[in-house]
A and B are shown apart, each in its own frame.
Chain A
Amino acid sequence: MADLLKLNDISLAYDTAEGVLPVVQNLSLCLEKGHIGCLLGASGCGKTTVLRAIAGFEPLRAGSICLGDTVLSEVGVQIEPEHRHVGMMFQDYALFPHLDVARNIGFGLRRWDKQRRKNRVAELLSLAGLEGWAHRYPHELSGGQQQRVALARALAPEPELLLLDEPFSNLDVDTRERLAFEVRDILKKTGHTAILVTHNQAEAFAIADRIGVMQGGVIAQWDTPYGLHHQPANRFVADFIKREALMAQRAQAYLRGEAS
């Protein structure tokens, strides 16, 4: 299938008081339509900055970002976030506290006609398993429910691409894995293309079709989960994957020891 999202040699940097601070350098990746990609890396490796650049909140210093046939960003020119057909789920969910669940989900459907909007909101409420919660306010919901509202809201305007910024980091460990599978199910059911950013390997492997291991502003390897495990491109990827796996094993062993 054709590639939907293309990042061509993009570089990103922040202006600080001391000068320009480079964050991402010559990063390229392609994502097929209907696939779920993931940027995996420790904090500060630039993965969230890449996501913000795709959303249109960071200007490019070099390279270009294309979605289908449209150029979203180039040096000096960028389409405004509201015209990109890109949805995003934020780390803090960013639910509007003054709107109830139904109006949060319907926020991006202002230009739709009333009946269509109503149907779409109902459809998403059931997709997210939130029927009966339509008129609750965000602060009345649990963390997992808030997260599903955020997902439903991002999907409502039928974006071509969905961005997920550390979507599970605010949840406790148990719900985290369950929800990772739930989100994958929802995205696969609706056929959405998505990019996820996380520092948690288990999440990445649970949800993604393609994973990019990031280090110091570059992608060390962009591959399937299978490929990462069995053919790591270099020492860093191998260590990164192994170390996390090792830690997970140790933690499990420790927990088993505690239990017995």
Chain B
Amino acid sequence: MNEAARAPAPALSRFSQELPLLQRLRRIFTPRSGLLWRVAALLIALCVVAPVITLVWFAVQGSLEHWTHLLTYVLPHAMRNTILLLLGVGALVICLGVGSAWLITAYRFPGSRILSWALLLPLAVPTYIVAFAYLDILHPIGPVQTLIRDLLGFDSPRDFRLPDLRSLPGAIFLLGFVLYPYVYLSTRVMFATQAASLLEAARVLGESGRSTFFRVALPMARPAIAVGVSLALLETLNDIGASEFLGVQTLTVSVYTTWVTRSDLAGASQIALAMLAIVAILILFERYGRRHQRYASTQRARSVQARQLHGAPAILATVLGLLPILIGFVAPALYLLNETIKHFHTVGAVSDQLLLSGYNTVKIALIATIVTLACGLAVAWAARAIRHSASPSTTKLYARVATSGYAIPGTVLAIGLLSPLMLIDGAAGWVWEKLGNAEPGLLLMGTSIALVCAYVIRFLAISIGGIEAGLARIPPSLEQAARLLGETPTSTLRRVHLPLLRPALGAAALLVFVDTMKELPATLMLRPVNFETLATWLYAEAARGTYEEGAVAALAIVLAGLLPVILLARSQLKPTH
């Protein structure tokens, strides 16, 4: 028995010795080791953590004086503003998001079908654009205040004016009305799929509609609300335009001004570190929500039987449902449309600079999308291909790390990327000079490569998530069949998985493309000199207070932003109809 088992051994050792170099190389890249893919995943994960590590490094390097200066003059004020802003926006998005989700789930009234997807529309309006639009709409001599004065019989803004929008409450109001869809979406999906039997049980047990909401639906939706709120607050923390336009000195704005006006990297890093602490809390909050959501989702999905409303309550419901859409989307969009039409009537054409920044935007968004998808594919494929191997957990860890970039606010990411990028630039310049060339330019910072890096890190989670979901729908037997028909893992990816992933890749590409188009904070800080995108163009116009072509740029961004909202409305809300 023993001899029989040992018999093939010589044959085997001969086999492995005679392996030609080419085959040995091929073995390194084989599926079971999956080395190439794993290395790629590791590198990508490292790129994502690099900015955080350098950030901590620089913050610690900064002298103690720095810290005391920050602690006395900058941080308390900015921290207070940021926390108040987060609390205010959090409360507002919960009210609007949960309220509208419950309205749509529990009642049927004229227009409720349309409202169920239209409530997502404000997602198309970035925070800086809503602030940009409302500063003009609600200006003391703007259309709304003039109308109110006319109705009330006042002649001039001196006699009557609304409270100034340029304030913390103003910022909370505007951010709340564009960010509530995050809560609406997560809560609505929860209500629509989980609630039915529990809610009906509560009704049968004699609870009224209102107390069902407070005693059953709301507690049940808590995990979903946690997920939605943390996403909305991460977005709030990321915002730079709205806070800046509305004169609210948040941490984000402080990081920006500390770096741009005072070129103080250590100081900016220290403020950024404080922001990362808030991010960590928000992520923990989100994880908490997702964990509990998973437990809840084991029940069978069945939609709640909505109650038909008639008469006055029906009209009230329609109005309540319309309100967030009017404020968060319709008013700013109509304003931008009107301004754009006016601009075309008076000037007749857009300036070359605006066209150039539009071209820049599309170009860099395309490049960023392609790189982000490629990196996402590498990470997702590595996580799948090495599933049988000895160390699946490490690859899963890479994927986990690589998807954490979405939580890093744009300004923090930019500050963290500055030093590694400059380091590489310095090294490249040194090599370039040693090779006998004069006057090296900046390889990364001088070109838009730095920007692409930031976009990829920030939006990698979108592409990894989409591709992983797509891969999960492809049965493993297809992969095995292709292998036995003579394909290597990589050619299997090309011949089987890529064609089957096309819808998932397309959706991920659209999301990444539009998010890149809209991105403002990192773009502001990392763009090369004289490189403008639509977002930075708008920011500059608003900062100068010129407002001439800003509306055209803003409208273009909002229109592009509508595409993923349509996609989202179709994919998320279809099954519940």
Binding site for B on A (CB under 8 A): 8-9, 15, 55-57, 59, 62-64, 66, 69-71, 74, 77-78, 80-82, 84, 86-88, 90-92, 94, 96-98, 107-108, 110-111, 153-154, 156-157, 159
Contacts and interface: CB of A to CB of B under 8 A. Distances in A.
B12 A74 contact: yes
Contact of A82 (B390, B475, B483): B483
A82 B492 CA distance: 10
B338 to A, nearest CB: 47
Contacts of A74: 8-9, 12
B103 to A, nearest CB: 40
B486 A108 contact: yes
B8 A82 contact: no
Nearest to A89: B481
30 contacts: A8-B4, A8-B7, A8-B8, A57-B388, A63-B5, A64-B12, A66-B8, A70-B15, A71-B11, A77-B12, A77-B15, A80-B30, A80-B31, A81-B484, A82-B485, A82-B486, A82-B488, A84-B484, A90-B477, A91-B477, A94-B478, A96-B478, A97-B500, A98-B499, A107-B485, A108-B484, A153-B481, A153-B485, A157-B485, A159-B484
Contacts of B507: none
Nearest to B474: A97
A94 B500 contact: no
A8 B5 contact: yes
A80 B93 CA distance: 54
B480 interface: yes
B482 interface: yes
A87 B484 contact: yes
A119 to B, nearest CB: 18
A232 to B, nearest CB: 24
B487 interface: yes
Contacts of A154: 484-485
Interface string B441-475: 00000000000000000000000000000000001
B562 interface: no
Given A9-B1, A96-B496, A90 B480 contact: yes
B5 A9 contact: yes
A82 B484 contact: yes
Contacts of A108: 484-486
B16 interface: yes
A64 B486 contact: no
Given A55-B480, A96-B496, A71 B8 contact: yes
Contacts of A77: 12, 15-16
Contacts of A78: 32
Contacts of A111: 486
Interface in B1-36: 1, 4-5, 7-9, 11-12, 15-16, 27, 30-32
Contacts of A8: 4-5, 7-8
Given A71-B8, A92-B475, A80 B1 contact: no
A156 B478 CA distance: 17
Contacts of B482: 96, 107
B385 to A, nearest CB: 13
Contacts of A66: 8
B486 A62 contact: no
A57 B480 contact: yes
Given A74-B12, A108-B485, 14 more contacts: A9-B1, A57-B388, A63-B5, A64-B12, A71-B12, A77-B12, A80-B488, A90-B481, A94-B475, A96-B478, A107-B482, A110-B486, A111-B486, A153-B485
A83 to B, nearest CB: 8
Contacts of A9: 1, 4-5
Interface of B: 1, 4-5, 7-9, 11-12, 15-16, 27, 30-32, 388, 390, 475, 477-478, 480-488, 495-496, 499-500
Contacts of A92: 475, 477
A94 B481 contact: yes
Nearest to A80: B30
Contacts of B390: 15
Contact of A81 (B475, B483, B496): B483
Contacts of B480: 55, 57, 81, 88, 90, 94
Contact of A62 (B5, B9, B475): B5
Contacts of A156: 485
Residue in B7, B12, B485, B496 with the greatest tally of chain A CB atoms within 10 Å: B485
Contacts of B30: 80
B475 to A, nearest CB: 6
Contacts of A87: 484-485
Residue in B5, B11, B488, B496 with the greatest tally of chain A CB atoms within 10 Å: B5
B294 to A, nearest CB: 18
A238 B499 CA distance: 50
A9 B9 CA distance: 13
A37 B225 CA distance: 58
Residue in B483, B486, B488 with the greatest tally of chain A CB atoms within 10 Å: B486
Contacts of B31: 80
A55 B484 contact: yes
A99 to B, nearest CB: 8
A80 B488 CA distance: 8
A208 B475 CA distance: 29
A82 B500 contact: no
A15 B389 CA distance: 10
Contacts of B11: 69, 71
A183 B500 CA distance: 30
A87 B500 CA distance: 23
B499 to A, nearest CB: 5
B483 A64 contact: no
Contact of B484 (A63, A69, A86, A97): A86
Contacts of A98: 499-500
A35 B16 CA distance: 30
A78 B482 CA distance: 18
Residue in B477, B481, B496 with the greatest tally of chain A CB atoms within 10 Å: B481
Contact of B483 (A63, A80, A110): A80
A18 B555 CA distance: 57
Given A8-B7, A9-B1, A94-B478, A88 B484 contact: yes
